[in-house]
Chains A and B, each alone.
Chain A
């Protein structure tokens, strides 16, 4: 489904931490690619290793983390790159926006200072040019009166405006990949849709690839071309958004679909997956989702491999061929 070299390729990425309780397996053997201009969603509950995977794309993993595998940007491995070179990549080739724009922005610098600082750091341009660029971008992300907002501090902006400013900051150097970690979780529902639409539109207009990290498959449905489903540190399903929504092949993906808020269904009637994500220091030996799965069988207690179920469609479930799982359409009916 992709042509030529991918923009980014993650190969067999594993991240572990030593903790007093034992070795924590935060991410295990994760592999995926992102093509130039492509929008990919990464979904899973909290604790599934999504955010760490996102940070690894900027070489921002804590050094306490023990990392194996490769994160290749144009064939250059970010995990082996010296800090100085990484600084040149961050913000210029790969950018990131975070969940809570209030704390992610520096409270004592103006929005404008924070945007132009990125531009100046990477482009070495003068103050005036950086300012003009920042104001242009603020306008582009839909902030009214950009020249005034430029001089304001984060606390003077509304939540939605702050996240727009974060997006402007991330895009100021025209990066080729934007990692968005739960960018709408902290926002009001009405604002969420606007911000998602903005990210999608900017991605289309500029050809910026996006990795959208979220716990909400609904968010991915609106924005992304492909979906990576993560569970307990493993990729469990990797396919196009349409496939995932209509015919999920992994019980976990199906479970996430059932949890999407939708019209006509009261919040308390939404089916959430029973049980909890296992502790990363004490993972099941077989299928990691096994203990919470409705379709669990004895053979699920063997380690599960990610296998190609159909062209471009990878699933980590030994029963994927025999199960017919409800997709978004069935759930609405």
Chain B
């Protein structure tokens, strides 16, 4: 468990983790803990203000907003995990092969990676969704595709860094097949940076899911996702209870903030050099600061 010491050493990470555990819990148990059916309409009670029976009021077709918020956690999380999975499934093998084989394969792969990184991600994703058809799954696959080049590039860098190590050479000398060399020797060394990168991509994916659902290309009605809920509230901006504007947005912000914070501490803890550098830099900064005390 020593590995996870970082979690307890860092207050920010602790708070972030607590929030994420809550969101995960809600996502897992939404059908059990939600007070109402998230898609059951009640046209006689629309856009109601918060009350005892509807904690956050009702939306434009009379659905319980609080229940939809709880179910939304589920959809939003599923979407962002899907996107990151797709990015890994494409990016890791491409980066591995490009780095390991080198030469023409590497050249071509990196050109492709550069080209895709030249697109503003959301625009390319919109283009791909248009081709595949709107919907949460397609939207998040598209996002995953646009993320994959950054994973491939990172992976390739890791492979190049470990490829020339003695043990890789030795393994090849002793006739270990290339795929075993990759799995036994190269992959384990690359796994930590990939985990950190995945955490940071998860945050971006979460925002992207919200954005695509907001513009109607992601989660489709009547599915509740936080972005899609904001989209409905936006259409009734002046008449919606204001809490319905704030709650989903705040939920998104806090979750993304928490994922980012956790990703940052994860990076610092997995990369002792970067962590030390950061501490050294802090110490230096402190010294520089005290050095000019009294400076006008």
Chain A: residues with CB nearer than 8 A to chain B? 61-64, 82-84
Chain B: residues with CB nearer than 8 A to chain A? 286-287, 290-296
- Pairs across A and B, CB under 8 Å, 20 listed: A61-B291, A62-B287, A62-B290, A62-B291, A63-B290, A63-B291, A63-B292, A63-B293, A63-B294, A64-B286, A64-B287, A64-B290, A64-B291, A82-B294, A82-B296, A83-B292, A83-B294, A83-B295, A83-B296, A84-B296
B-side interface mostly: loop
Chain B proximity of A56: nearest CB distance (Å): 13
Residues of A within 8 A of B295 (CB): 83
A84 to B295, CA, bound (A): 7
Residues of A within 8 A of B287 (CB): 62, 64
Chain A proximity of B196: nearest CB distance (Å): 29
**A60, closest chain B residue (CB):** B291
Chain B proximity of A26: nearest CB distance (Å): 14
**B289, closest chain A residue (CB):** A63
Residues of B within 8 A of A84 (CB): 296
**A62, closest chain B residue (CB):** B291
A129 to B287, CA, bound (A): 37
A64 to B287, CA, bound (A): 7
Residues of B within 8 A of A63 (CB): 290-294
A61 to B291, CA, bound (A): 7
**A17, closest chain B residue (CB):** B287
A301 to B114, CA, bound (A): 69
Chain B proximity of A64: nearest CB distance (Å): 5
Residues of B within 8 A of A83 (CB): 292, 294-296
Residues of A within 8 A of B292 (CB): 63, 83
**B291, closest chain A residue (CB):** A62
Chain A proximity of B293: nearest CB distance (Å): 4
A63 to B290, CA, bound (A): 5
Chain B proximity of A125: nearest CB distance (Å): 24
Residues of B within 8 A of A82 (CB): 294, 296
Residues of A within 8 A of B296 (CB): 82-84
A82 to B294, CA, bound (A): 7
A82 to B287, CA, bound (A): 19
A177 to B296, CA, bound (A): 25
Closest 8 CB pairs of A and B: A63-B290, A62-B291, A63-B293, A64-B290, A83-B295, A83-B294, A63-B291, A62-B287
A290 to B136, CA, bound (A): 77
Given contacts A61-B291, A62-B290, A63-B294, 8 further A-B contacts (CB under 8 A): A63-B290, A64-B286, A64-B287, A64-B291, A83-B292, A83-B294, A83-B295, A83-B296
